[in-house]
Each structure stands twice: as structure tokens, then as C-alpha cells.
Amino acid sequence: MSGILATFGAVTLPLAALNWHSFFFVLFAAVACACAIAVVLADNVVRMALYLVLSLGATAGLFFLAGAEFVGAMQLMIYVGGTLVLLVFGVMLTAQAPFVSIKTTTGDRVLAGVVGAALLAVLLQSAFSVPAWRQPAAGTVAAPAATPVGMALLGVRVDEPAAGSPQGAVRSGYLLPFEIVSVHLLVVLVGAAYLARAKKRKTPRAIEVAASVEPPASVAEHAAVGRGAGRATSVLSGGRS
Amino acid sequence: MRGPDFLSQLDAALPGAIVGRNLEAMDPWIEIAPERIADVCQWLDTKSPVRFDALECITAIDWFEPDAKKAAKVSWQPHTELVYHLWSTAARVSLVLKCNLPRWKGDVPGQLPEIPSVCGVWRGANWHEREVYDLSGVWFTGHPDLRRILCPEDWEGHPLRKDYEQPLEYHGIRGK
Amino acid sequence: MASAIDDDPRIIEFDVRTDEMLVNMGPQHPSTHGVLRLVLRTDGEVVSEIEPHIGYLHRCAEKIGENLTARQWIPYTDRMDYLAAMNMNLGWALTVEKLMKYEVSEKARHLRVLIAELSRIASHLVGMGAYGLDLGTFSPFLYAFREREKILDLFEEACGARLTYSYITVGGLTADLPPGWLGRCEAFLDQFEPIIKEYHALLTTNAIFVKRTANIGVLSRELAIEYGCSGPVLRGSGVDQDMRRDGEAIYTAMYDGYAFEVAVMKNGHYPRDHEYPPVPADAVLGDCWHRFFVRMLEVVQSMDLVRQAIDRYSACKGTIGEPLKLTEKIPAGDAYLETEAPKGQMGFYVVSDGTAIPWRVRARSSSFSNLAVAPELCRGCLIADVPAIVGSLDIVMGEIDR
Amino acid sequence: MAEFLINSAGLPEWLAWTITAVVAAVLILNVIAGGALVFIWAERKIAARIQDRLGPTRTGGRFGWLQSLADGIKLLAKEDLMPEGADGMLFRLAPYVSFCASFCAFIALPFAFDFVGQRLNVGVFFVVAVLGLEVFGVILAGYASASKWSLFGAMREAAQVVSYEVPLGMCVVVPVMLAGSMDLVTIAEKQAGWFTNWYLFHDPFTFVIFWVYVTCAVASVNRAPFDLAEAESELVAGFHTEYSGLRWSYFFMAEYGSMFLVSALAAVLFMGGWNGPIPVAKLLGLSAGTGDTAGYFVRLLGMANLLGKATLGVLVMMWVRWTLPRLRIDQVMTTCLKYCTPLAAAMFAGVMVWQLALPGGIVRGLSRPAGEVREGWLEGPGGKAASRPAADAAQKVAEVAR
């Protein structure tokens, strides 16, 4: 896929010193924003979910671009996978009509537009006010491996020595928050399982129906009565051989 | 428990149910009054010394000679005859019941003859009765859902009747 | 009785409200055998009710029977259960011979047993192969048809046709066996013996097959008898009934002197005349597995019968005699006879008014009653079980719709 | 390659990078397309052999080589139907989403030492994440083709793949733990040398977890006996009932692609990737140095080795498909939740304990102790200086780890 995109880029944007890195950044950012808007504007639930997955995928692309492969893969796994499960179990199983569409009245659109614009303005202003972000970073950023992140989660911060502490002593990592988060998730899971359970019937319905057919008098018992004549003939044949 | 004494037991249990018999025929049979068929079958299935717990098949025979020439020579009056073949799984013996019904109810063409349904006795009779209704036009009172089973739902006429006319077209498909 | 279950306090049915969906399985559905339409009322994966719609293959053969003489109607009986046409011909021929009190020669009788049992093997092979298809495995179907082809070749040599034979007819058979036929038939049986173990390994004792069929679609004895089921479906529920032994005198006379055990589970075990794989632990009497297993036993049983028939046939002197004239007059009266067709008891009822053309002809189909019990079995099962249950009943639409 | 184009060919920088990207993408695309073609032909031949028949023999020579091409042309020529009730955009988009997901997982899959699309440090994690995306295309297809049957198929597939990701993830974690890094190249390099170095034979727990991985892989790729989604006997053809022509072929390209991917992953994680059972390169004294033709030859040999193992995996999947019947949806779920997940967890714990007790693996001496510093970018193969700029951080980790 990246190859196809690349050829597309080469043809239409013959900028002088085109830097692929920035091209892809612009592309992924554009896809993310466009799909985000599309999510808001779409009225068919499944299309909304599709655009959501595309925009989250584009942000995952941004992470990969920034060299943070671990976070990129995590984003793909959690957000895109999560939306997938949300879409399937949340949307499809509860959708009444085959194509559930949610119409928004124009009044709501205007209101939402105003609130959105206000929030955007605040974000932009604060983003541009940070001096460090204004000029591009020097050189390509080093691609940190996943291991420091892993070690940090286990309590050993290897990527930066503690300020002022003697060489070699390392700050304690994120073990505590990591444990808190996992316990929290466990509680949430147990709660969800408890809420979703439905009291199941004691005995499955099929076996009940079969059991409710009360057995007649044992077949053997009244077989003795009928077994008079030799080969099967009509019961009315009166002993005729 | 064969032949005559079986019949006497049946007679004793349901007086007046048996209206005719022929024990010397290839398959000996007894004729039952149409309105008593359900009771007789109930007795045969539950209280009879030889339990007839399986209904093999129900057949409707349309005794009616369409062209007048042959009709004159025929010995019987036009009527519909229902034949029930029963089977006892334990005693491994069979029994044939017959019922005679008028071809039309009250001889008004279009009114189907009626007979009580035996679905209450054997649930297997459900489909057999639906087929007899569909092909020979006999109304089974008390049947859970008497619909056509082999012909399409909106088919007119009952094909196995002797005076049945093939429809010229059905939903645009040429009949004859 | 159903309402008693519903308001029983013990069973609390509190479930997130799900609306039921009506789903159509068929009539053009790969797993229904021929043109059968099943309307499933499903709640998610669980099937709450199924309703079979039949009649797509209805040709009203019985109406045509009222315009043809007895022998002219034989080809129509071929097309009822087209997988075992020989048994259908035999049923109709015997019914008319019963009404006419006509005795065929002894050689013809043994030849009829030989052909009927060979046709039973062919029919059960198709039943086994198609059942494998219903459960998703494709290969047993081809192994079954490879063997069935050999039987069809034998039939083609005997009567020229491969599917609708009209070979057994009123008054005997249309032609005697060509020379060398018996040798080829015995060669087929000898090479077929070890292949049966292959089928057992492939399906009967296959863990996934057992998981898909054991304890599924349990048909109790009483329900089977009440619905008039017959053949492997009835014997699969433990009812010891086989028309070749319990049937009418004229039919059981054909099997006089033949040693065979009815393939049914009597006091806890199947007949032990050959060694068969053991019954799996979670298989309940009357479930799909038992119906399938009874058919597999009957294949071996029929092979023994064919061997005995070959010996008796070749021991008889004389010819098989000529079948009756095409327009033979039938004495007035009516006669009903049930024979043990591969799918179950196939009954024929002929009413004659003394002319050559019968007044009324009626065919009682075994699959008709076997299918009637399907809604009872499929209540509360999963969607994937419906083809498993309907497949285990081994129905043929030609026979049901006539 | 980009450096070569920039300095010698004098191309502008952005054109050089484009060409490298295009070459890499087309190479990977050909691996899948070529693989799919070969596998379609192989599936037909293997199915035929299993079913005692010949398979394609006429198209293109005695062995029907061009059968896949013939299928391709037929699919191209077929009209792309769309049911009128369908949701146009989603219906068209679904096959491409499914194919792209299966395709872009190949980026991280190493074929030889540095024959890899993009050497991701989180290779395994990326592949597992992207494998989960493929089901998104299936759900869109099921939902958009507006037919009850495809919706059933899509629901079943979604439930199955989502739930099988859990045990799959657990099985994949074990080789990561043994190798100490998620980078597929490092994992494969750790298993260099004799087959005793393979993680498959590293300890009994990894052996069991390999087979759990195989089950979960077959289930998450939807191949029999777990192919519920397109269970033709129940759901007609599952989610791609309404597809025909080229769109349908994209789904099948995706299926064969992910089948190949999952077997290649198994080869890399458990069977030493390009390190064959017998280390031919080491025996011949060649080393995978960069640049010289010997290194190139070793990498080619490695690639052939990996392709061989992956193809072996795919053939086993085909063999299983044509012999076993299909499982029911609830049985598939129970195997996942009640058997695969607990077993994977137990084996995972077992491997952990084994690591502490016997860091050097079963056969001492032959394999380098796994406890050694594990990070690939710390100490490149053959002692080459780490190519990564963050070398100083590496020393820090080494001190801490000892």
C-alpha cells in the first residue's frame, strides 16, 4: 500500500526538495481529520464506524511515522480492534432496522458546530503558544525500541538516569501505576460480565420438551396380549394361518 | 385376541361405531361411522387390548364415474371413502378402518365433506390429513392447521377427484 | 403440556429481549436433500421452530396411476425414491401380485432379494456420503459414490439403466442376469468389505463427527412410533421393527431361510455378527449418531443377504419366468402392502374395479412421516444442527412429494 | 538500495525513495499473488488426491498447471453483481479492506536475515494487531450485502476471530519471551543452528504451545474444521454469498494470504525461520555478512527454507480441511474459551518456570543460553557493531540486566 501511495505522491507533487517524511505526515493528518469530520457528518451507523476506524488507523500511521512503533501497533490493536468489537457487538446486534440511520436536525448541527469551533480555537491557540513546537525538530528522531518501554513498565527506567542521583541509580519506573491500571481493568471486566449475564434456564428447553411426553404403558406388557397368531396378518383375520 | 372377539370388545366399548365389516377380503376391514372415527381411534390407541400406536397412512378414494355411460353400469353410489391403515408396533398386526362420506357435504357441490380429525390421537396424522384435504378435498374438523401441503397454497380444486378439471393457466403458466 | 413448562417457577426465563428472525433454508439450499424449504424461526443462533414446506417436486403420480395399467405405472415408482428405485418397483410389484394372488417363481424371488439388498447398499451409501456433506466433510461423499458407481455398473449390466431401472415388475423381472454377473457381484462384495472400516474411521468414530451428532435431535421411542416413522429412523430409536421379518406373508416369504439380524440396539448392544466400532459414550439412543450407525450396520447386513441370495439363486434350476402381460386384468378389490425400503416402510395401496386399469393407486412414503417428526426434533437446537438432524433422517424429496 | 540509486544513478532523493518503496511493495504483493496462485492449484490437487480422483489435468500440460490462471480469468470475466438492497460503498469496500489487512501484515514478516519489508522492533505485535483487522472486511461484507445468511456468516466469523485472538496472543508471547524481543528477525536468529535450537523443541511446554498456536491459527484464519463463516451446508456461503467475480477473488486472495502468513509466522516463531534443521550455511563456512555474494546466497537459501516451511504449514491446513467435518459455532467457542486459552496460559507459566530452572534449554552446549542479553540491536549477529544510534542506552541495559 505504501508503494502505491508513493507513486501517487511522486506524480502529483513535484515540489523541489520533497521530504517523504513530511509528505506522509500531511497525508495521514489529512486522512485522520477528514475521516473524523466524516464520522460526525455520516448518518449511517456502519459508515460512521468505518470512518472512525479509518481515522484511528491514520493516527496509528502518524505514530509509526514518528518512529514510535510500539505505540503505533498498540493503537492499531486497541483502538481499531476495539472499534471493530464495538461495531459488531454494539451496533449490529442492537440495530433494529437493517441500515440504522440517525438523522440529526439542522439545529443540533449548528449548535455542535459552534461548540466544536470554540474548542478548536482554544486548542490551536494553546498549541501555537508553545515555543518548542513552532520550529521542526532537529534531524530525524531516534527510534526508541520497545524494550525500554517494557523495562520501564516493570519498574526500571533505563532511558534516562534520575536527575542528580549517582550514575547508575535509576528512577523507579511505572510499576505502581501499571498495577493500579490492571486491577482497575479487572474490576471493570468482572462488573461487565456480571451485568451481561442472563439467568439461564435450569434445564435446556429441548430436553424438557422430550421429557414431557409421558411414556405409555410399557410396550412389552401389552405385546404379550397381541402375540397370538404366527406371521403378521390383520388382527381381524381370526386365527386364519 | 384375534378376529371376532377383538371386534366384540370394540363393539362393547363403543356401541354403534362399527357399521360394516368384511373379514374375508384380501385385507379384512371394518367400516366405522364417520362421526365416531376419532373415538374409535382413541380407544384403539389407548384402551384396546392390542394397542394400535402407529397410523401408517390415510387414503381417500373418490367413487364417482364421470361419463354417464359407465356410471349406469356401476353398482355403487358416488361417495368418498376414507381408508385408515393402522399398525401395532408391539403386536405387529395391522388393522384397516373405512369410512364412507358423501362426495359433497349435503350434496352441495363445493362444500367439502367433514370428518373428525385423528390428530389428537396420533400427531403423525397431521400431515396425512393435510394431504388428503389438499388432493381429495375432505375437511378434517379439529385439525390444528388444515392447509394444502403438496399443491401451492392458492391452488383451486382437488386433483385426485375424478371430476377434476386441469386449470388452463396458473400465474401465467399455461396448464393445458 | 407445553404451558406447564412455561409457568414453572423453577425455570426463570429472563433474557435480554431479542426479536426472532424468520430465515428461509431452501428450497435451493445445498444441504436440503432436493427441493425442501425449511422456514426457521431463529433467536440469534438458537432455532425456536422449524416448519418444512414440501410439494416442490409434486407430480401427482397417483392421478397418473388412475390412467395406466399396473405394469405401466412401474416407471413412476422408480421416480419416487430415485436413490433406491429397485425397492420401489419391488413394493408396487408385490402389492399387485398380492391382490392378484400371483406367485412368482422361486428363482425370481431370490433374484429379487439379491437386487433389492444391493440397491439398499447403494441407497445407504448415498445417505452416508450426503450426511458427511451436511456436516462439512467432503471426502466421504466421494468415497461413497466411488463404491456406488460399481453397484450401478452391475445394475446397468442387469437391466440397462443406472438410476430408474423398472427392472422388477409385476410378475417377476424384465430380464435374467447376464452370464458372469454373479462373479462380478461377488468380486464387488469382497473388495467392499474392508472399505466399510474406512467409512467407520472417517465418520462414525471421528471425534468431530461424534461431537456434531451425538445427543443431537434425540427422537424418543414413543414420538417415533406416534409419527409413523419407520426404517433406520425408527430402529435408531430402539424400536425392533423390520418389515423383512415382521411384514406381510407375501413379503416375508421372500426372506424365508435368510439368516439376518435386525440392526437395532436390543438390551444395550447392537447385533454382534460382525465387529463394529463401539457406541461413543455421549451418544443417546435415538440421536443422529444412532440413526447413522443403524444405516452402516444395514450395509453389512445387506452384504450378507446378497451373498446368501447369490448362492440360492444359482442353486435354483429353471428360468425366472415371464412378467405378466402389459394389460393384465386385475381382480376387483383392494390390497395394501408395506415393504422395507432403505429409507423406511414404503406402503403401496391399490384399489381395483376388475379392469386392467386400477381405480385408485396410493403410495405411502416413509420419508413423508420421517420428515414430519423433524419440527419436534429441531426445537431449541442451533442452526448448524438443523442440517445435521434433517440429514440424519435421510429423506428423499421425490418420495415425499410423489 | 535507496543509497545506491541516489549516489550512483544520481536520481533526486525523493524519486529514489519512491522507487525503493515501489519495489518493496511489488515484491511483497507478488509473494502473496504468486502464493495464492500456487495454493489454489495445490488445494485442488490435494483435495483430489485425498478424494481418490485426479484433480485438474487438462489446463496447461499434464498436471493442470494453468488451472489457477484459468480460474483467475474466469473470475475477471465474471460480472460483479451487487444485490439491490446492498449498501453500495461498504459492499465495494469490504473485499479491499480484508485484502489490505492481510497484505500489510506481510510488511513485518522477515523472509531471510534482512529480506524484510520493514524491520519493525514490534514485529510480532504488529502482525497480531493487523491480523485482527481482516475480520473488519468480513463484517462489512456480511452487513452490506443485506442478506440474512451473510449477516449470520459475518457474526459467526467476528465472534470466532475476536475470541481466538486471545489464545493466539498468548501463544505468540512465549517465543517473544524466549527470544527476549518482539523483533521477528531476532527471534529467528536466536534459533540458528541445529533444529534442537528451535523453540519447538526448546522444552515440552513450547512444544504443546506450538500445537495450541496451530489450532488458534487455523481458527483465526477460518479454515476447516473451524470454517464456520462460509459453512456451505448451513449458511449457503456465509459472508461472501452475494459476491462474485473479482471481488470474490479478493476475499480468497486475503484468505490464502493470511493462511500463508500464519504458517510463515509459525515457522519464524517456533521453527527457526530461515535457519533450517541442518545449518547448511554454517557448515559451508559462509556467514550472513552483508554485501558479498556468499551472504546473498545464504539469504536466498534462508528464504527458500522459510518458504518451504510456510508452504508445508499451508499444505497441512489443506489436508485437514478435506478430511475433518466442521465444528458447530458453540463447539468452536468452547474449544477457544475452555481449552485453548487455559492451556496456553498454563504452558506460558510452564515456560516461565522452565526458563528460570534451565536457562540453557534441554540440550546444553548446543544452543546458546537464552538468558544471554537478548536485545538484537545491542549486539548484531556476527558481533557486528549495533547499527542503531542509541548504543549508549544499550550499555545501560546490559549493566542492569547482569
Interchain CB distance below 8 Å, D104 and A1: yes
Strand, coil or helix: what is C313?
helix
Task: Look at residue D375 in the predicted model and tell me its pLDDT.
Answer: 45
Position C114 pLDDT exceeds 70: yes
Strand partners, C333: C352
By residue count, chain A amounts to: 241
Task: Look at residue C95 in the predicted model and tell me its pLDDT.
Answer: 94
Which of the four pLDDT bands, split at 50, 70 and 90, describes residue A103?
confident
Whether chain B lies against chain D with 3 or more Cβ pairs closer than 8 A is no
d(C-alpha A198, C-alpha A204), whole Å = 14
Interchain CB distance below 8 Å, A92 and D182: no
Task: Evaluate whether A6 touches D22 at the Cβ level (below 8 Å).
Answer: yes
Which tens digits make up the pLDDT trace of D187-218? 888 888 777 778 888 888 889 999 999 999 99
Q: Which residue of C has its CA nearest to A96?
A: C19
Interchain CB distance below 8 Å, D21 and A2: yes
The continuous run of DSSP H or E covering C40 comes out as: strand C37-43
Position C371 pLDDT exceeds 60: yes
| CA gyration radius, chain B | 18
Read off the pLDDT of each residue in A94-117 and give the average, rounded to a whole number: 76
* C39 CA to centre of own chain: 24
Q: How far is A228 from chain B (nearest CA, A)?
A: 7
Q: Which of D28, D396, D400 to mutate to test the interface with A (most CBs of A within 10 A)?
A: D396
Q: What is the mean pLDDT of chain C?
A: 88
Read off the pLDDT of each residue in D150-178 and give the average, rounded to a whole number: 86
Interchain CB distance below 8 Å, C351 and B149: no
Which tens digits make up the pLDDT trace of C216-241? 999 999 999 999 999 999 999 999 99
Distances (CA, A) of B135 to C51, C78, C174, C222, D279: 21, 22, 33, 29, 80
Q: Render D271-324 in DSSP notation, one character per residue.
A: S-TT--SS-HHHHTT----SSSHHHHHHHHHHHHHHHHHHHHHHHHHHHHHTTS
Q: Which chains touch D (3 or more CB pairs under 8 A)?
A: A, C
When mean pLDDT is compared across B143-147, C123-127, D190-194, D238-242, the lowest value belongs to D238-242
d(C-alpha C134, C-alpha D328), whole Å = 12
Task: Evaluate whether C306 touches C49 at the Cβ level (below 8 Å).
Answer: no
d(C-alpha B149, C-alpha C110), whole Å = 39
d(C-alpha D106, C-alpha C90), whole Å = 64
The C-alpha cell of D261 is what? 502468513
Residues from chain B that touch A235, judged by Cβ atoms under 8 A, are 1-3, 6, 50, 88, 91, 93-95
Least CB–CB distance from D130: residue in A69, A76, A88: A76
Q: Which residues contact D10 (CB under 8 A, 6 or more apart)?
A: none
Which tens digits make up the pLDDT trace of C49-103? 898 888 888 888 999 999 999 999 999 999 998 899 999 999 999 999 999 999 8
Least CB–CB distance from C338: residue in B55, B56, B83: B56
Least CB–CB distance from C62: residue in B122, B123, B160: B160
Q: How far is B83 from chain C (nearest CA, A)?
A: 10
Task: Look at residue B84 in the predicted model and tell me its pLDDT.
Answer: 94
Question: What is the dihedral sign for C-alpha D263, D267, D269, D271?
Answer: positive
Other CB atoms within 10 A of residue D9 CB: 10
d(C-alpha A42, C-alpha A55), whole Å = 14
Q: Which residue of B has its CA nearest to A218?
A: B90
- How are beta strands C21-25 and B173-174 bridged, if at all? unpaired
Task: Look at residue D359 in the predicted model and tell me its pLDDT.
Answer: 62
Q: Tell me, yes or no, if C39 comes closer than 8 A to chain D by beta carbon.
A: no
In the block, residue with C-alpha cell 463394529: C276
Other CB atoms within 10 A of residue C139 CB: 21
Q: Which of B87, B135, B145 to mutate to test the interface with C (most CBs of C within 10 A)?
A: B87
Angle value at C-alpha B57, between B56 and B63, nearest 5 degrees: 150
Q: Which of B5, B27, B56, B88 to mutate to test the interface with A (most CBs of A within 10 A)?
A: B88
Task: Look at residue D30 in the predicted model and tell me its pLDDT.
Answer: 87
Position A11 pLDDT exceeds 50: no
Burial of residue C192, with CB atoms counted within 10 A of its CB: 0-12 exposed, 13-18 middle, 19 or more buried: middle
Position A72 pLDDT exceeds 80: yes
The C-alpha cell of D16 is what? 529514489
Task: Evaluate whether B9 touches B95 at the Cβ level (below 8 Å).
Answer: no
The C-alpha cell of C327 is what? 394389460
Read off the pLDDT of each residue in B146-164 and give the average, rounded to a whole number: 88
Which of the four pLDDT bands, split at 50, 70 and 90, describes residue D253?
confident
Read off the pLDDT of each residue in A134-161 and give the average, rounded to a whole number: 66
Interchain CB distance below 8 Å, B57 and C347: yes
d(C-alpha C216, C-alpha C202), whole Å = 19
Compute the CA torsion angle D259, D261, D263, D265 (nearest 10 deg).
Answer: -150
Angle value at C-alpha C85, between C81 and C89, nearest 5 degrees: 110
Task: Evaluate whether A173 touches A195 at the Cβ level (below 8 Å).
Answer: no
When mean pLDDT is compared across A83-92, A98-107, C178-187, D295-304, the lowest value belongs to A98-107
Where do the DSSP E strands lie in D42-154? none
Interchain CB distance below 8 Å, A213 and C11: no
Task: Look at residue D379 in the predicted model and tell me its pLDDT.
Answer: 37
Q: What is the mean pLDDT of chain D?
A: 79
Closest residue by Cα to residue D120 from D104, D96, D132? D104
Least CB–CB distance from C146: residue in D52, D228, D234: D52
b/e code B41-54 from CB counts within 10 Å (16+ = b): bebbbeebebbbbb
Task: Look at residue C181 in the predicted model and tell me its pLDDT.
Answer: 94
In the block, residue with C-alpha cell 359407465: B70
Task: Look at residue D389 in the predicted model and tell me its pLDDT.
Answer: 38
Position C153 pLDDT exceeds 90: yes
> pTM (2 decimals)?
0.81
Task: Look at residue C33 in the predicted model and tell me its pLDDT.
Answer: 67
Which tens digits make up the pLDDT trace of C318-341? 888 888 888 888 999 999 999 999
Q: Which of C43, C216, C379, C383 to mutate to test the interface with A (most CBs of A within 10 A)?
A: C379
What domains are there in chain A, each with its CATH number?
A: 1-124 (1.20.120.1200)
d(C-alpha C354, C-alpha C58), whole Å = 29
Task: Look at residue D394 in the predicted model and tell me its pLDDT.
Answer: 46
d(C-alpha B73, C-alpha B69), whole Å = 7
Read off the pLDDT of each residue in A20-47 and give the average, rounded to a whole number: 87
Q: Render chain A in DSSP notation, one character per residue.
A: -HHHHHHHHHHH---TT--HHHHHHHHHHHHHHHHHHHHHH--BHHHHHHHHHHHHHHHHHHHHHTT-HHHHHHHIIIIIHHHHHIIIIIIITT-SSSS-B----HHHHHHHHHHHHHHHHHHHHHHHH-GGGTSPPSSPPP---HHHHHHHHTTB--SSPPTTSPTT---B-SHHHHHHHHHHHHHHHHHHHHHH--PPPSS-HHHHHHHTS---S-HHHHHHHH--SSS--BGGGTT--
Interchain CB distance below 8 Å, A226 and B92: yes
Task: Evaluate whether B161 touches B136 at the Cβ level (below 8 Å).
Answer: yes
Strand, coil or helix: what is D20?
helix
Which tens digits make up the pLDDT trace of B92-128? 899 999 999 988 888 888 888 999 999 999 999 999 9
Q: Which residue of C has its CA nearest to A198?
A: C15
Domain map (residue ranges) of chain D: 1-77, 83-361
Strand, coil or helix: what is C91?
helix
d(C-alpha D317, C-alpha D313), whole Å = 6
Task: Look at residue D380 in the predicted model and tell me its pLDDT.
Answer: 36
The continuous run of DSSP H or E covering B58 comes out as: strand B54-63
d(C-alpha B17, C-alpha B20), whole Å = 9
Position C12 pLDDT exceeds 80: no
Task: Look at residue B122 in the predicted model and tell me its pLDDT.
Answer: 92
Position D232 pLDDT exceeds 60: no
Strand partners, C350: C335, C361
The C-alpha cell of A48 is what? 460512521
Task: Look at residue C28 in the predicted model and tell me its pLDDT.
Answer: 66
Higher pLDDT, B73 or C307: C307
By residue count, chain C amounts to: 402
In the block, residue with C-alpha cell 470554540: A118
d(C-alpha D34, C-alpha D53), whole Å = 26
